[in-house]
Structure 1
Amino acid sequence: MNGLFDEARAALFSVWHRKWIALGIAWGVCLLGWLAVAAVPNSYQSKARIFVQLDDPLAEQIGIGAGDRRRDIERVRQTLTSAINLEKVVRSTRLGDGIATPKQMEAMVLDLGKAVKVSSEQDNLFEITATSTDRHLSDAESAKLAQDIAQKMIDIFREENLAGGRGEMAETLEFMNQQLADRQKQLETAEQRRLQFEAQHPELSQGGASLLQRMEASRMELRGLDADIAAAQSALAAINGQLAGTPQSLIGPGSGGAKSALSEALGQLAALKARGLTDSHPDVIAARNQVAQLRTLAGAEGPGGGVPNPAYSSLQSIRAEKAAALQGLLTRRAAAQADLARTSGQQVANPEAAAEAQRISRDYDVLKQQYDKLLLDREQLRLRGQVETERSAVKFQVIDPPTTPRKPVAPNRPLLLLAVLVVGIGAGIAGAFAVGQLRSGFHTTGRLEKALGLPVLGAISHTMTDAGRALAQRRLKYFMAGSAALGVVFVLLLTSEFIQRGMVA
């Protein structure tokens, strides 16, 4: 431990003994470092935030979804820092002053691309950051330039999303009109070919429908008619069943006889069946036997003594109506079968003409479908373009305008000045120590004894006269003044830096 203490004391004595060398090195390093720090230009940064409103009920109604608009905005954000847009910024700000050659413009665009950043904080919130670093401009001018760059980027962002989208919509509509014109010419040619063929083969012309289409339509009609005929036959059979169980005449009040008893027995039998009793039930068997006996008696009694049954008359009318409907369906089915047979006969009699008719009709149908689809798409695009143009489906709002920089973001000059001072003092101490190590000398008796390997009997202290002490004190004052001057220069530089920042603000 004593050895380490002796070494530290020897090092301090060596440095103090050569304090003027340390002070000179510190001054040299500090002056060079402070000059280098002063040569670094200040960088000023301006920020702005843009809010993009994507919700629009009318736009959603016509198919302009928020996802589509979000993708468009993201595309514009990614291309905002393209060379073309950055060149617009250079030409519209002070960055373009003094640029005369394309090479200079290219270099300036590259530098600006590193100084401009567009980031998205959320899906519809964007931040534009512009940094200005120009050694030829004053701090106030550089701060104003950063603000101008941010404002120009906002203008370009708005133009790219509004005017750019309208231009793309106009180009799309022009392309759709051209395609529609081409399809219209092809459709007119196919129409003329179809009319000429129908004039040559009138038996194969059915309003443009092909033989296969007509045959398929006839088959579908036949299937539908068969289903309707089956339903009509079932309904007619049901009516006939009701007529069979309905008497033609009713016995009036107060009149007796077998017919009246038969009506009552039939009502009782119907009531028993309505209760859910089966034919094997004893009550049902007894009622049926009674009905059979009464029928025999009523037949022997004769038709007299009753009034017409209105239910029976109504059922007869319904049966006549159902029979007429069934006959109409049978007639339509016969006509459809005849048309199908005639169409099949035409296809068999002239297969080449039938094939040609099918091909012409098929080409015409395909062209007609394409034309109708293009026409519908064109109208939808036109409506979408009108909505985007007149209603501005994407709305911009600058929630934070470009800020005016109050202080530079880089470099951190006070910290750099302090770092240079610390490095300068450290370099001075290291230099003085290195010089002491290069020169042969022993500052303590322990180092001398260690170096010679012999015991040291004693040391003679250095004595000074009054004149020597006065000279030493004067030199110490000069050294303290030089050291204090280094600190004063540091304080002045810091003061100057803060005064310049105040002038910018």
Structure 2
Amino acid sequence: MAGLYDELLVLLHGIWSRRWIALAVAWGVCMLGWLGVSLIPNGYESKARVYVNTQSLLEDKIGITQVQSQQDLDRVRQTLLSAENLEKVVRGTDLAQTISGPRDVAGKITTLREHITVLAQADPSMIDISATSADSGLSDGANARIAQQVVQKLIDIFQEENLTGGRTETRQSLAFLDQQIAGRGKQLEAADKRRVEFAQRYAGVLPGAGTISQRMDAARLEINNIDAQLVQAQSALSAMNGQLAGTPATLPGVAVGGGASPLAQAQAELAGMRARGWTASHPDVIAAQRQVDNLRRQGGASGAAAAGTPNPAYLSIKSMQAERAATVQALSTRKAQLQADLNTMTAHQIDEPGVASEQEKLDRDYAALQTQYDKLLADREEIRLRGDVKTETGAVQFSVLQPASLPTAPAAPNRPLLLLGVLILGIGAGIGVAFAIGQLKGTFPTAARLERAVGIPVAGSITQVASTAQVALDKQRMKWFAGASGGLAALCLLLIVVEFIQRGTA
């Protein structure tokens, strides 16, 4: 530990013995550094904060969501630094006085893009806009004014884009949709004309609407339904015929003794047999029929005269039989008509196999054009309504929470800190140079170091003895050194004071 302490004392002594060299180097480095700091132009920054409220009850009613409105706001914010908008900034501020041609405008646009910041806060409706002006060819006051003008112009452009940009976009979209609707309308008219011509050419082939294939399928389905109805009607007619055959047309007369006549009894028995479902080949039916025939022949005119009045049940069944027969006839006629139409259409398809495909193609094209046309009409009305809501009702509320500030102090560089940094760097450079010179010279500050270097024991060392005149000279030189060192620090402090004075008068 003692050896380390001795080495430190030797190091400090070597630097102190070359203190004038260190001081000269420090002065040189500080002067060059302070000159460089003074050449750095001041940059003045102006800031502003705007608030854009995109929440609207009316927008929600027509389907404009908060996300869509925020996306529109983000699009305007991201395009705020486009070349077109920055050119408006250049020509709308004092920067226009420093340009003489398109090349200067392009250079100013590039510089502005590097020194303008547009940031969204945690609340995306809050937007901070800042701009820095650090033109070395302009005064501090001019740079401060330009920074404020740039931010104010950006606010104006931002507001204009939000309020009028929607109108421009809506107008362009409506013009495009009108053009597309007009084109689709002409195509739709042409397609409808072709469909009408085709329908006139094959009019009356099959009833109904739709393509030929659809009509044929509908006709086949109707024939199947008619077949089922026809089977039911025929069954009902057969049952009615059987019931009519078993019902007498007239009621039989009454016998003298108060009972029924033999002919009436025989007919009643025969009707009962037939009602039970016995056929004409049944032995009992055959016997009953013979008995009825014999009684009729025996009765003759007297039997006819004794016949009773017409049977009401027979007349009712006869009426129902006629109704069932008419239904069967109508269904048969309808089936024959549909079958004939199908046969005719089938013959057309055989003769002209492309008829069905042609109609399907015409209907398909017409349906597609009609769908597109209706969608374009709906889109145009929706865009018109949204545009009216956004631009006419003031749905977007634009507020400037913090107007563009006029900077009174440069935002960059931090010249006081740089001046102190240069002073520290100069002192360090002086000490470093003094230390390096001490290491390069071949002297031995202590007897122990000399003994280690030559490997021979050193008997002793002689201490320097200063005279009275030498002591006085050393004191005078110490005063000069202190004055030079203090002058360096005082000069740094003076430069810092001047910097603050310039900031106050900017």
Cα deviation, residue 425, structure 1? 1.3
Q: Does 1:13 align with 2:13?
A: yes
Report the AA paired with residue 121 of structure 1. Q
> Which residue does the alignment assign to 2:267?
none
Cα deviation, residue 205, structure 1? 8.8
> Which residue does the alignment assign to 1:368?
370
Report the AA paired with residue 64 of structure 2. I
In 1: Cα distance, 2:63 partner to 2:334 partner: 45
Tell me: CA distance 1:13–1:196, structure 2 relative to 1, closer, same or farther (3 Å): closer
Tell me: CA distance 1:70–1:218, structure 2 relative to 1, closer, same or farther (3 Å): farther
Unaligned runs of 5+ in 1: 227-328
Cα deviation, residue 342, structure 1? 6.8
Conserved in 2, the CA contact under 8 Å of 1:45 and 1:130?
Answer: yes
Tell me: CA distance 1:60–1:399, structure 2 relative to 1, closer, same or farther (3 Å): same
In 1: Cα distance, 2:3 partner to 2:73 partner: 73
Stretch of structure 1 that moved more, 411-420 or 73-82:
73-82
Conserved in 2, the CA contact under 8 Å of 1:47 and 1:128?
Answer: yes
In 1: Cα distance, 2:396 partner to 2:333 partner: 62
Report the AA paired with residue 366 of structure 1. A
In 1: Cα distance, 2:137 partner to 2:388 partner: 48
Report the AA paired with residue 137 of structure 2. H
Tell me: CA distance 1:6–1:196, structure 2 relative to 1, closer, same or farther (3 Å): closer
1:456 to 459, 471, 478: 459
> Which residue does the alignment assign to 1:128?
129
Report the AA paired with residue 23 of structure 1. L
1:347 to 340, 345, 351: 345
Could you say what secondary structure the match of 1:407 adopts?
Answer: coil
Q: Does 1:413 align with 2:415?
A: yes
Could you say what secondary structure the match of 1:404 adopts?
Answer: coil
Report the AA paired with residue 147 of structure 2. A
Q: Equivalent residues in 2 for 1:428-443 (5 A)?
A: 428-443=430-445
Cα deviation, residue 168, structure 1? 2.1
Tell me: CA distance 1:368–1:438, structure 2 relative to 1, closer, same or farther (3 Å): closer
1:317-374 superposed Cα distances (whole Å, 9 cap, x missing partner): xxxxxxxxxxxx9999999978865764553343349524454444333333332222
In 1: Cα distance, 2:57 partner to 2:226 partner: 48
Conserved in 1, the CA contact under 8 Å of 2:447 and 2:458?
Answer: no
Cα deviation, residue 435, structure 1? 2.8
Q: Does 1:151 align with 2:152?
A: yes
Report the AA paired with residue 24 of structure 2. G
In 2: Cα distance, 1:128 partner to 1:332 partner: 87
Conserved in 1, the CA contact under 8 Å of 2:206 and 2:342?
Answer: no
1:251-270 superposed Cα distances (whole Å, 9 cap, x missing partner): xxxxxxxxxxxxxxxxxxxx
Tell me: CA distance 1:225–1:337, structure 2 relative to 1, closer, same or farther (3 Å): closer
Unaligned runs of 5+ in 2: 228-326
In 2: Cα distance, 1:18 partner to 1:10 partner: 13
Conserved in 1, the CA contact under 8 Å of 2:209 and 2:215?
Answer: no
> Which residue does the alignment assign to 1:62?
62
In 2: Cα distance, 1:148 partner to 1:82 partner: 18
In 1: Cα distance, 2:164 partner to 2:333 partner: 64
Report the AA paired with residue 405 of structure 2. T
Q: Equivalent residues in 2 for 1:95-174 (5 A)?
A: 95-122=95-122, 123-174=124-175
2:471 to 469, 472, 476: 469
Tell me: CA distance 1:354–1:446, structure 2 relative to 1, closer, same or farther (3 Å): closer
Tell me: CA distance 1:405–1:20, structure 2 relative to 1, closer, same or farther (3 Å): same
Cα deviation, residue 149, structure 1? 1.8
Cα deviation, residue 84, structure 1? 2.8
Q: Does 1:378 align with 2:376?
A: no
Cα deviation, residue 158, structure 1? 2.5
In 2: Cα distance, 1:343 partner to 1:486 partner: 119
Cα deviation, residue 421, structure 1? 0.9
In 2: Cα distance, 1:368 partner to 1:212 partner: 21
What is the number of residues matched between the two proteins? 407
Conserved in 2, the CA contact under 8 Å of 1:33 and 1:420?
Answer: yes
Cα deviation, residue 135, structure 1? 1.6
In 1: Cα distance, 2:211 partner to 2:460 partner: 134
> Which residue does the alignment assign to 1:87?
87
Report the AA paired with residue 478 of structure 1. W
Report the AA paired with residue 171 of structure 1. Q
Cα deviation, residue 390, structure 1? 0.6
Cα deviation, residue 208, structure 1? 7.0
1:483 to 463, 467, 485: 485
In 1: Cα distance, 2:474 partner to 2:505 partner: 46
TM-score, L = length of structure 1: 0.70
Report the AA paired with residue 17 of structure 1. S
Q: Does 1:49 align with 2:49?
A: yes
Cα deviation, residue 30, structure 1? 0.8
1:71-91 superposed Cα distances (whole Å, 9 cap, x missing partner): 222222222223332233223
Stretch of structure 1 that moved more, 355-364 or 470-479:
355-364
1:458-504 superposed Cα distances (whole Å, 9 cap, x missing partner): 41432213x43333322222221111111111111111121122224
> Which residue does the alignment assign to 2:505?
503
Conserved in 1, the CA contact under 8 Å of 2:219 and 2:342?
Answer: no
Tell me: CA distance 1:432–1:335, structure 2 relative to 1, closer, same or farther (3 Å): farther
In 2: Cα distance, 1:410 partner to 1:28 partner: 25
> Which residue does the alignment assign to 1:176?
177
Tell me: CA distance 1:403–1:350, structure 2 relative to 1, closer, same or farther (3 Å): same
Could you say what secondary structure the match of 1:411 adopts?
Answer: coil
Could you say what secondary structure the match of 2:457 adopts?
Answer: coil
Conserved in 1, the CA contact under 8 Å of 2:206 and 2:216?
Answer: no
> Which residue does the alignment assign to 1:296?
none
Conserved in 1, the CA contact under 8 Å of 2:25 and 2:429?
Answer: yes
Look at both structures and tell me which one has the larger radius of gyration over its CA atoms.
2
Report the AA paired with residue 162 of structure 1. L
1:278-333 superposed Cα distances (whole Å, 9 cap, x missing partner): xxxxxxxxxxxxxxxxxxxxxxxxxxxxxxxxxxxxxxxxxxxxxxxxxxx99999
In 1: Cα distance, 2:410 partner to 2:92 partner: 23
Conserved in 1, the CA contact under 8 Å of 2:208 and 2:215?
Answer: no
Conserved in 2, the CA contact under 8 Å of 1:140 and 1:503?
Answer: no
In 2: Cα distance, 1:396 partner to 1:216 partner: 64
Could you say what secondary structure the match of 2:98 adopts?
Answer: coil
Conserved in 2, the CA contact under 8 Å of 1:215 and 1:340?
Answer: no
Could you say what secondary structure the match of 1:203 adopts?
Answer: coil
Conserved in 2, the CA contact under 8 Å of 1:204 and 1:354?
Answer: no
Report the AA paired with residue 439 of structure 2. Q
Conserved in 1, the CA contact under 8 Å of 2:206 and 2:215?
Answer: no
In 2: Cα distance, 1:223 partner to 1:70 partner: 62
Tell me: CA distance 1:16–1:205, structure 2 relative to 1, closer, same or farther (3 Å): same
Tell me: CA distance 1:216–1:58, structure 2 relative to 1, closer, same or farther (3 Å): farther
1:178-208 superposed Cα distances (whole Å, 9 cap, x missing partner): 1111122122223333333444444259797
Tell me: CA distance 1:456–1:220, structure 2 relative to 1, closer, same or farther (3 Å): farther
Could you say what secondary structure the match of 1:46 adopts?
Answer: strand
